[in-house]
Amino acid sequence: MKKVLILNGSPRKKGNTAVLVEKLSKILEESNNDVEIFKLNDLNIKPCQGCFWCYKDFPLKCVQDDVMNTLYPTILETDIFVFASPVYWYNYSGQLKLFIDRLVALHVKGGHALDGKKFASMFVYGNSSVEGSGVQNAINSIKYLIHYFKGENLGIVHGTAENIGDAAKNVQLLADVRELAEKIKT
């Protein structure tokens, strides 16, 4: 059984990202994966302070004793990470960025605890074109991250969905999420 952690970076509880997250998690749970979802907007994740306290003896926690210190054990147990976010100003949301920045605390001597893990991503945006949306910046950023972790990219799906309810009507996007689920399952 694989442990899948989905990071939802949208503040809209019934928004388009949530639709994709629910669809993906349902398929994965039906095939007996252990799925956990972090609704990042509900968590009071403080910004990384860049102090590198976490580099001294690599305690796998942060000097800021906030919610992240309670999340690190789950993160460390995860096999596959799924980044899910709306595009905000031509990149993924600030909620997701805060979380990713705090992964700095999981460095170990000579590497990072997430080295070699698997990753997937799902992005939605309001613009009707890929070029206009700026999603490519989010994609590039995640690809750099996966490369840093010497990880495996299982796939990045994205599509247009502006208003609440739009993702549920985007047939291609939903099909892409189903296809991504197949890659995560196997």
Ligand X SMILES: Cc1cc2nc3c(=O)[nH]c(=O)nc-3n(C[C@H](O)[C@H](O)[C@H](O)COP(=O)(O)O)c2cc1C
Please choose, from the candidates 61, 62, 47, the residue with its C-alpha nearest in 3D space to the C-alpha of residue 100: 47
| Residue among 17 and 78 whose Cβ is closer to ligand X | 17
Tokens of 134: 């700026």
Q: Does 124 bind ligand X (CB under 6 A)?
A: yes
Contact 92, 16 (CB under 8 A): no
Site for ligand X in 128-147 (CB under 6 A): 133-134
Task: Please report whether residue 82 would count as binding ligand X according to CB under 6 A.
Answer: no
Cβ closer to ligand X: 58 or 90?
A: 90
Tell how strand 152-160 and strand 118-125 pair up.
Answer: parallel
Stretch that binds ligand X, among 14-22, 50-58, 67-75, 99-107 (CB under 6 A): 14-22
**Structure token digits, residue 97:** 């960025």
Contact 33, 185 (CB under 8 A): yes
CB nearer ligand X, residue 118 or residue 158? 158
Q: Using the rule CB under 6 A, which residue among 157, 161, 173, 177 binds ligand X? A: 161
Q: Does 88 bind ligand X (CB under 6 A)?
A: yes
Asked whether the beta carbons of 61 and 72 are under 8 A apart, the reply is yes
